[in-house]
Chains A and B, each alone.
Chain A
Amino acid sequence: MTAKNFDPARRSFLGSAAAATGIALAPGIFLYGVGATTQVAARGLDEAASSAVRWGMLIDLNRCDSGCNECVTACNKENGLQGHGRPETDAQWIRKVEVRDPGNGHSQSLPVMCQHCEDPPCVDVCPTGASFKRPDGIVLVDKHTCIGCRYCISACPYKARSFVHEALQDQKPHAPRGKGTVESCTMCVHRIDDDRQPACVEACGDTGGGAMLFGDLNDPDSEISKRVATYATQQIRADLGLKPGVRYRGL
């Protein structure tokens, strides 16, 4: 088998077939399992993140105004991202992107951050295992083992990752960052572990258009799962088959 023969569709088919069999064979047990895991959001401080949860975001672009930058501002404040007057290299965990259809001139604005892929290419290429996916689907960089090679930056099709070029001081205690390491959106993992929403989602609801929704995609009763099931939603570069946890509506 060469790498050319890898077919993500086949893998996902086998995965979903296995899941479907699980439901068919033991519906009662499966449902109890899901019911129990919906409580994981309020897990204790000393409990590990569970793979029964799949954190995700749904961003309704009909509510996302092109002039609004609240999510970006909130992210920078929450994680202590300061510019050094060098936009080319300054860290950027979330950014607003304007897309325009040249055919009819229709333009849209969307926030783009780490898409927290189910099959993250950044994790595949990392030579030290620093880039990893938490059991609950959040893709992170373990800066203790990151050597700053930046393969993951090249591998990410969403340009979601940044490299820290400057020595830093007085970082946020919940968001350690340092020179020579790669970083990206953590989905505010410190807030999620504290049973709170990511800073961008909170700011979007408070002072923005209320376009962002955060929740557990594995829990059929969560608001995000209901909306994903009800409305047509899109993933950026869905053709790559990375199955991002961030979804868009009206793209």
Chain B
Amino acid sequence: MSFRRYAIAMGAVTLASLVGLTAATGEVPYPDIPKGQGEACVEDTDFMRRNHMSLLMHQRDDTMRKGIRSEQHSLKECLDCHAVPGSDSIPVTVEDPQHFCRSCHDYAAVKIDCFQCHASRPEQEVVAEVREE
């Protein structure tokens, strides 16, 4: 009987710890990733989370070296769709923690250097034209 009691006790402890763990995962801070414009991303969200860097790297070399400028996986298109308007409704740059790329990269502690050269938001004259329309 003592063994049976012990087993029940252990089961209860395990269950309690599992419940505790589940509750704890709900409290893990999760990045507040701004939603992009448009219907859907160029690939599945799961796929993009894991592979966006490979797509960008591939496109980078194709565009730079061969002049292939297909829009499907271009950084420019990413930024156009994932522009996050700031308090003045002008898209924020990567200096702002709200920036789409930064919101997740800050969380994952992955440093990116794309924006040392690339613009981190859509071209502002174009944005101004769109807003006037």
Contact = CB atoms under 8 A, between A and B. Distances in A.
A144 interface: yes
A174 B125 CA distance: 13
Interface residues of B, number: 24
A176 interface: yes
The B interface is mostly helix, strand or loop, or mixed, namely loop
21 contacts: A45-B68, A45-B71, A46-B68, A46-B70, A47-B68, A48-B67, A167-B116, A168-B117, A169-B95, A170-B93, A170-B124, A171-B119, A172-B119, A173-B76, A173-B79, A174-B76, A176-B117, A176-B119, A177-B117, A181-B117, A193-B67
B93 A173 contact: no
Contact of A173 (B60, B95, B116, B119): B119
Interface in A154-212: 167-174, 176-181, 189-190, 192-194
B131 interface: no
Interface residues of A, number: 32
B68 A140 contact: no
Contact of A178 (B62, B65, B116, B124): B116
B49 interface: no
Contacts of A45: 68-71
Contacts of A60: none
Interface of A: 45-49, 132, 134-136, 140, 142-144, 167-174, 176-181, 189-190, 192-194
Given A46-B70, A179-B116, A170 B121 contact: yes
Interface of B: 60-62, 64-71, 76, 79, 93, 95, 116-124
B66 A140 contact: no
Given A45-B68, A45-B70, A169-B95, 18 more contacts: A45-B69, A47-B68, A48-B62, A49-B67, A134-B65, A142-B64, A167-B116, A169-B119, A171-B117, A171-B118, A172-B119, A173-B118, A173-B123, A174-B76, A176-B119, A193-B67, A193-B69, A194-B69
